[in-house]
Amino acid sequence: MALLSVLTPFLVVGLCLVIGFMLLRPRETEATSPTSSAGAPQADHRPWVDQDLQDDTEDKGNEDEDGDPVDSNEEEEQHLQVPYSASRYPKESMLERSKDFYTLMNRRRTIRFISPEPVPREVIDNAILTAGTAPSGAHTEPWTFVVVSDPETKHQIRRIVEKEEEVNYLQRMGDKWVKDLSKLRTNWIKEYLDVAPYLILVFKQIHGILPNGNKLTHYYNEISVSISCGLLLAALQNVGLVTVTSTPLNCGPQLRLILKRPANEKLLMLLPVGYPACDATVPELKRKPLDDILVHI
């Protein structure tokens, strides 16, 4: 009994340590799970990743098109270097081309009033080929463009998007907005998802899969796919088609499933594409002048 009394403090200390350890374990798991949600390696395992560019939704490394520097030299070494021959324009022609391209792109607007008129499929194919010329981290080309023209699938997509959007509006905007339902409706009702001849759903592949089943890191996949969307927008504008640059909130997983895309693909953007409706309107917005976006040193 005396022995037990003497040992009690030690037993209690031991018990406390065990309990303390058990308390610490789940916390460590919690602490890591938000940053490993996509099975991405931890930031501290990748000391070379720029703090500014860390993104917990994906694997990241160094952005570079041609399987080149920083962390993918292995790949570049497999490729022969070949001469590069570029188009060379005289100065006046360069200046004119730069102005014309700016004028063309500056006419682009987000258009929610899309005509049901059919659009040649080959034009859409060429726009997506153009998007596919974007640079990507280590030349992984981590994009999938799902082009939907089937009316039933378009309608399913619309139902999913509108259902989620309605929740988004109400959760986010609260009483102030609920009062004015008619105005809200114009926002979460997305007729163009039925009407547009094509919906382009852009997926980022957060990683690739090697023949042996291992994951292939897709460096900076979100930035790469966004750049390719920039080229896609340019290509559509260049042929007189319009779109809405949208990222439907909370719809990604549902849309991925109905489109039967694999789990390594995440929806980045949903672009309804077509000719503008003849009565299309846009908000009267200005763009920032050059001095507000350019700093020369």
Using CB under 8 A as the binding rule, the residues of this chain from 252 to 291 that contact a second copy are 252-253, 259, 261, 266-269, 275-276, 279-285, 287-288, 290
- Three-state secondary structure call for residue 6: helix
- For the segment 86-145, give every residue that binds a second copy (CB under 8 A): 86-89, 91, 94-95, 97-99, 101-102, 105-113, 120, 122-123, 125-135, 139, 141, 143-145
Exposure of 98 in the CB half-sphere (CA atoms within 13 A): 7
Tokens of 143: 């994009």
Q: If binding is defined by CB under 8 A, does position 178 make contact with a second copy?
A: no
The least CB distance from residue 212 to a second copy, in Å, is 20
Site residues for a second copy, 27-86, by CB under 8 A, read 27-28, 30-31, 34-35, 37, 43, 47-57, 62-71, 73, 76, 79-84, 86
Q: Closest Cα to residue 140, out of 129, 132, 130?
A: 132
For residues 103 and 138, what is the distance between their CA atoms, to the nearest angstrom?
A: 33
Report the residue from 193, 196, 218, 248 that binds a second copy according to the rule CB under 8 A: 248
DSSP 280: -
210 vs 295 by CB, closer to a second copy: 295
Shortest Cβ distance from residue 149 to a second copy (Å)?
7
**160 lines the binding site for a second copy (CB under 8 A):** no
CA 234 to CA 126: how far, in whole Å?
12
Q: Does 181 bind a second copy (CB under 8 A)?
A: no
- Quickly tell me which residue has 């926002």 as its tokens: 187
Positive or negative: CA dihedral 229, 230, 231, 233: positive
Which amino acid belongs to residue 202? V
